[in-house]
Chain A
């Protein structure tokens, strides 16, 4: 009646082969933390709506401010990907002046000392700020990567997101370990 397990497995493999032509970093056997963060960075883009066009850039820029912790992972992750008809382009920037065209701004932990200024400047930009600097969200950042039990999770602070005129999908909030800065704020039950 039911087909046997090997057949099932073969089916599954075939399925993968057909439907998923290029495995992304997230699906690799044991992705590194930086690989996961790179993928998440790209995935955030899919759950956030930018009200205005971020500048006049005809690419979707994901910027890394400061020392790039991803190495080539971010480039590999977004290679060939596009959003809203715009190719996704990873971009390394050294200061906030170059952040004008950034849709997503990853603030490297190397910039922790300048964080207050960076966030103040970012408030005027139509940019999603992400960082793995501890207490980033409480300090006015939008999304903070948190590593829990060797898994990469994130916290979301809705207040700066709304102030920046961005809209974040409830789907994203659903998987955040902590949402603050809104009436929906609270810690999801684990």
Chain B
């Protein structure tokens, strides 16, 4: 395939060759023409001089014996020389004596002046050569011959030469083309190949290709070989880099596998632990239920109270196990991603809570919060935990206000759930989200300390984080934000 690069270099070489040979030829032709013109003019003048001499000599008697007719006859012999336009014989005092004119051509042309002692002079005038010859006889000038010749021969010769030169020029250019085609290959081919390889390298990032090695000991060979060396070096480094990269990848994959395995083990463990724990607790619940149902009349009230307490403990245990299972699932379950309407979730949870305890005076203020990208199940879980938390910690107040809203800080969406309940000691704020850590006693507020830990895990799985601001008895605000890309429209900001 002929590429532009190929065209460019070999065309340049060809043009260069053709230009050089063409110029040389034109210069040579020019010099030759000039020389030929000069010699040809001289020859023409010489031949005209000879003719003038012959005519002059043959006209001596005619001049001496005043016989113009004889002279005219002599002159008419010139008609065979087609280049002679006119000829004239003059008497020594310059009077016309005899004349020969071809085809009515009669231009008056200046005659070259004869210097003393000169017997002949000629002059090139435009397209004519005019020659004056003094006819000498016995040491005396008996008359003059004027001959006028046109330069038709010279013109014809010039035309012929121009045609020849043109033909030779064409041949020369063709030859130059051929030569540069044959020999230019030694220059252009390595460059073209090199360019092709360079293009392959830059386009396909393939450093394994090589330019055809050159065995020439010139700059081109050096270039090609250096280029190949460079490619080899790049390839070697590339391989090293690739090896290091692969090794790293392998190590990461290995670690990930290990981590996944240990995580799975851990989860299986905690799941089985939780599941296995439920069995005895369920049994405990069942038996205490039977006790309360079957033997309510047979046992005194103190025993019944104790059984009731055992049952409550069992229930808390069940709840705790359920929450742990949930927490475990939050960490391990697969995440989906779709737009989630937190406002709608907040409304439904608020309704549910209000229906559950209709006697409580709680005002829900739920703002329209922009949809976020995330797992609806997990986000519902987080919202439920946060709102239930607020519901729970406002339960000691006669009236309460629970707010869900959002704000923007530095273009980032931050959601919050705010209540005016029990609040917390700000110094312990970082303990809030740790599992099983509680800032209030179970007696004060029921709970097992898993809820906020679950919230944190959900938000973190979405690439965000959660934090709380609050004071004792002055309510608490739980803020959470999502990682980049989890809020539609964030990317556009």
Contacts and interface: CB of A to CB of B under 8 A. Distances in A.
Given A26-B66, A43-B65, 15 more contacts: A1-B125, A1-B126, A2-B108, A8-B108, A8-B111, A9-B94, A15-B144, A18-B116, A20-B93, A23-B93, A46-B137, A153-B65, A153-B67, A154-B65, A174-B70
A26 B66 CA distance: 9
B138 A174 contact: no
12 contacts: A7-B110, A11-B111, A12-B94, A15-B94, A18-B114, A18-B115, A19-B92, A19-B116, A171-B60, A172-B61, A174-B61, A175-B61
Interface string B66-77: 110110000000
Interface string A17-30: 01110010011000
A175 B93 contact: no
Nearest to B61: A171
B141 A20 contact: yes
B138 A83 contact: yes
A27 B317 CA distance: 166
A107 interface: no
Interface in A157-179: 169, 171-172, 174-175
Nearest to B132: A15
A20 B144 CA distance: 11
Contacts of A5: 108
Nearest to A172: B61
A8 B110 contact: yes
A174 B74 CA distance: 10
B92 A175 contact: no
Contacts of B115: 18
A175 B107 CA distance: 30
Interface of B: 58, 60-62, 64-67, 69-70, 90-94, 107-111, 113-116, 125-126, 134, 137-138, 141, 144
A1 B123 CA distance: 12
A121 B364 CA distance: 181
Nearest to B74: A174
Top 6 A-B pairs, shortest CB-CB distance: A3-B110, A12-B94, A171-B61, A175-B67, A43-B64, A20-B92
A172 B67 CA distance: 11
A16 interface: yes
Nearest to A154: B65
Contact of B93 (A16, A39, A153): A16
Q: Is the interface of B mostly helix, strand, loop or mixed?
A: loop
A142 to B, nearest CB: 15
Given A3-B110, A7-B110, A11-B113, A36 B66 contact: yes
Interface in A138-165: 151-154
A50 interface: no
Contacts of B110: 2-3, 7-8, 11
Contact of A47 (B61, B94, B116, B125): B61
A190 B65 contact: no
A117 B321 CA distance: 188
Contacts of A2: 107-110, 125
A153 B70 CA distance: 12
A60 to B, nearest CB: 12
B125 A151 contact: no
Contacts of A20: 92-93, 141
A11 B146 CA distance: 14
Given A2-B125, A43-B65, A171-B58, A15 B113 contact: yes
Given A2-B108, A46-B137, A190-B69, A19 B114 contact: yes
A70 interface: no
Contacts of B90: 12
A7 B108 CA distance: 12
Given A19-B92, A46-B138, A83-B138, A175 B108 contact: no
Contacts of B144: 15
Given A8-B110, A18-B116, A83-B138, A40 B65 contact: yes
Nearest to B137: A46
B69 A19 contact: no
A118 B92 CA distance: 38
B65 A13 contact: no
A14 interface: yes
Contacts of A40: 64-65
A141 to B, nearest CB: 17
Nearest to B138: A46
Nearest to B70: A175
B110 to A, nearest CB: 3
Q: Indicate the member of A11, A19, A23, A154 with the most B CB atoms within 10 Å.
A: A19
Contacts of B113: 11, 14-15
B59 to A, nearest CB: 9
A39 B66 CA distance: 11
Contacts of B134: 19
A152 B67 CA distance: 10
B114 A15 contact: yes
Q: Indicate the member of A15, A23, A172 with the most B CB atoms within 10 Å.
A: A15
A158 to B, nearest CB: 15
A13 B64 CA distance: 20
Contacts of A3: 110
A37 to B, nearest CB: 11
A175 B62 contact: yes
B445 to A, nearest CB: 130
A25 to B, nearest CB: 12
A7 B111 CA distance: 10
A182 to B, nearest CB: 17
Nearest to A83: B138
A87 B62 CA distance: 25
Contacts of B109: 2
A179 B141 CA distance: 28
Nearest to A39: B64
B138 to A, nearest CB: 6
A9 B108 CA distance: 12
A42 B178 CA distance: 78
A169 B107 CA distance: 37
B454 to A, nearest CB: 118
B62 to A, nearest CB: 5
